[in-house]
Structure 1
């Protein structure tokens, strides 16, 4: 693997076949030894920040207490017939207790302000990274590490002339005062990693489950890698240290 520092390991929600956006998944990421735990965030009608990937009309119709009632939540997903909808307020104390970092993937812009407020209430700004819908965050919350989500696919022009893409996303990252770039692994090449680092930007990649792709990106120098296969990436880390 060379002498590069091993990237931070991010546990994608639902890692190692656990249910998505549940306390079980959160704890499994911690148990496996991930550096960062990812959760997807949306808001209920009353502004309660909840762990949920997909939008639901019920989010806009119900406050959290009613949203989390069995008759309503079971209509969102069969998963919630046996589990409650988790709030960000439920997992922040767990992360603080275990000293693990969080990747708060904001699915909508209306999650920004209640999320920031809650993190500040728990005095955890230095323990979180923000990805997803982060519009305007860097100008209003300079103490938060906001990772800029780049496009998930390259255009034909960008594929043919990758340097244009690399220059564009790095320029956007610098001008937006972002901590780094959050990139789909298929769009991330060594050229953009090196340019980002020269511009003081970290490079995160998601969601990397294939071992060969993991090795390639590790050798290219990415700073963090999000995966559902945490055990597999941990094994590569242990191998690199042996």
Structure 2
């Protein structure tokens, strides 16, 4: 029986997105996966950050993490230090926590792969986001294919063809699965993906009815800012 994994979106609790406090919340909620966004500083340190900033091109991590400088990246950093990917990998290692690393730029690829290997985390880390060329360069890294954020009218009307083509693309490209906007995911693509040995993840689902619908579709992982609700639904479904 397929058991859907709970993927806690960055900022699933009271703390700001992409801080270590927020990451710890994802763990404490009992999630199967925690998602974080990754960018790099001027000297190549991988940090947790969603939005781009010109300061990334001119400042090292040490300079950016200065209490007087870091709020320039985001007001949240007035109270929180800038978290690094190394910290996330180190904290999650003892418990074997799975990670969804959403790479925001191509220059984050090499520093991220280096850290994954350093912490021997190949089996528990999945890459989403900017991942062009990764499956060819790093075939041992688990990369999810990011499918279109929106469906064209043609794809919407001829969804079977879209489902088949996207699964073929994933198989040919060496991806381990599909990472889909929840609005674009239907049962046809889930069935085709599973028949092809591919995972299907959806993002970002925060309401109970949509969670229930995807649980019924046998989705492999649901990314959410409401992990407690999703875990309650999964627990209830196991008792049926």
> Is the shorter-chain TM-score for this pair beyond 0.5, marking a shared fold?
yes
Name the CA distance, whole Å, in 1 between partners of 2:14 and 2:79: 17
Aligned to 2:221: 224
TM-score (norm 1): 0.96
Asked if the contact 1:209–1:229 (Cα under 8 Å) also holds between the matched residues in 2, the reply is yes
Aligned to 2:183: 186
Name the CA distance, whole Å, in 2 between partners of 1:75 and 1:224: 34
Name the CA distance, whole Å, in 2 between partners of 1:16 and 1:69: 25
Aligned to 1:50: 47
What is the SS of the residue equivalent to 1:33?
coil
What is the SS of the residue equivalent to 1:70?
coil
Deviation at 1:23, TM superposition (A): 1.1
Name the CA distance, whole Å, in 2 between partners of 1:127 and 1:21: 19
Aligned to 2:5: 8
What is the SS of the residue equivalent to 2:68?
helix
When you count helix as a share of all residues, which structure comes out higher? 1
Deviation at 1:172, TM superposition (A): 1.1
From 107, 128, 132, the counterpart of 1:131:
128
What is the SS of the residue equivalent to 1:25?
helix
Deviation at 1:5, TM superposition (A): 2.1
Name the CA distance, whole Å, in 1 between partners of 2:182 and 2:149: 9
In the TM superposition, 1:41-190 aligns within 5 A as 41-190=38-187
What is the SS of the residue equivalent to 1:47?
coil
Name the CA distance, whole Å, in 2 between partners of 1:95 and 1:131: 18
177-186 or 13-22: bigger deviation: 13-22
From 205, 216, 220, the counterpart of 2:202:
205
Let me know the Cα RMSD of the aligned residues: 1.0
Name the CA distance, whole Å, in 2 between partners of 1:156 and 1:184: 16
TM-score (norm 2): 0.97
Deviation at 1:17, TM superposition (A): 3.6
What do residues 193-223 of structure 1 show as CA deviations (whole Å, max 9, x unaligned)? 0011111111011111111111111111111
Asked if the contact 1:206–1:227 (Cα under 8 Å) also holds between the matched residues in 2, the reply is yes
Deviation at 1:165, TM superposition (A): 1.6
Asked if the contact 1:109–1:135 (Cα under 8 Å) also holds between the matched residues in 2, the reply is yes
Deviation at 1:37, TM superposition (A): 0.6
Name the CA distance, whole Å, in 1 between partners of 2:7 and 2:152: 27
Deviation at 1:38, TM superposition (A): 0.6
Q: Which 4+ residue blocks in structure 1 deviate beyond 6 angstroms? A: none
Unpaired segments of 5 or more residues in structure 1?
A: none
What do residues 3-22 of structure 1 show as CA deviations (whole Å, max 9, x unaligned)? x4221110000013431001
167-176 or 39-48: bigger deviation: 167-176
Unpaired segments of 5 or more residues in structure 2?
A: none
1:18 aligns with 2:15: yes
